[in-house]
Amino acid sequence: MRDLSLMTWKEIKEVDKKGSVVFVVMAPIEEHGWCLPLATDVIEGENWSRGAMKLIEEKSKILCYYLPTFPIAAASVNAFYGSVHFSMKTTFEVAYEILDSVRHMGFENIVIIASHADPDHQIAVIKAVRRINRKHGICAIAPMGSIFEGTGVEPAEDVKELEKRYGNDFHAGWVETSSMLDIDDNNVRSGFENLPDSDITDKDMISKRKQLAAMGDYGHIGMPRFATKVIGHKLNQNCIESICEAVINFYNRSGYEKYDDYFLFKILPLHIGFLKSFGKVKRG
């Protein structure tokens, strides 16, 4: 795998574009409760991308390239210190311009790793992918929305049991805290085991007001106390393997469609952020 930003234009010109895939991570700098850093989504996206690229090159003849992470993302809650969020429209335009630039370099396989599960972000990125695919033919995919919804490689049994019992873990809970413990436990603040549970239903997550109520004074939605490094390794590996499968299938243009099907994209009210009167980021 190689960083495109460290190559010269002449070196990029000589790359086998048909035999390559370019990874782009888009994730926010935003609050992640009392125990996780602002860059949690960025760190996860970079970890999953590097792991997937390594696995792809081991399993196939595909060459993997990547760009530096773009810390640009749409999000629905901006009430806490530290969050740097963008509107859905801005996120869409940036994602589209990135894709268009990479496509004009000649690359025919581009993967956006939108490692931030907020529907605002996923919808904005997927819209950009669909627009670039209409313009140039199929050349890009954003699989994370579908992966977050459960598409991909079957998770380990103990992970499935936790998801079954404590599935409403949406933000800085046991899922992300476990993931970060595995990636680098120095980034996880002590005391996460003592943080209170915060519960909310899938349906109520659509409401920004109810999200804020569930976050309370802490900023997380879920149960950080159940986090472990062992579970984190299994979660991260599952995500890496799912991305690998999605990318190889996309490269072969066979069997990738399930990774291109984000259920929440079909809920029209979630697109409201593209309307001028609703699309502004509210801070405080």
pLDDT tens digits, one per residue of 185-219? 999 999 999 999 998 888 888 788 898 899 999 99
Amino acid letter, 243: I
Are 41 and 121 a contacting pair, CB within 8 Å? Answer: no
**Mean per-residue pLDDT over the chain, rounded:** 94
pLDDT above 90 coverage of the chain, percent: 85
pLDDT above 70 coverage of the chain, percent: 99
Q: Which domains does the chain have, with CATH numbers?
A: 2-7+17-267 (3.40.50.10310)
Phi, psi of 173 (to 5 degrees): -95, -145
What is the distance between the alpha carbons of residues 268 and 90, in angstroms, rounded to a whole number? 19
Q: Does residue 281 have a pLDDT over 70?
A: yes
Two structure tokens written together for 71: 């810390």
What is the distance between the alpha carbons of residues 103 and 234, in angstroms, rounded to a whole number? 34
Two structure tokens written together for 131: 């627009």
pLDDT of residue 202: 82
Sequence-separated (6 or more) residues with CB below 8 Å from residue 193: 224, 225, 227
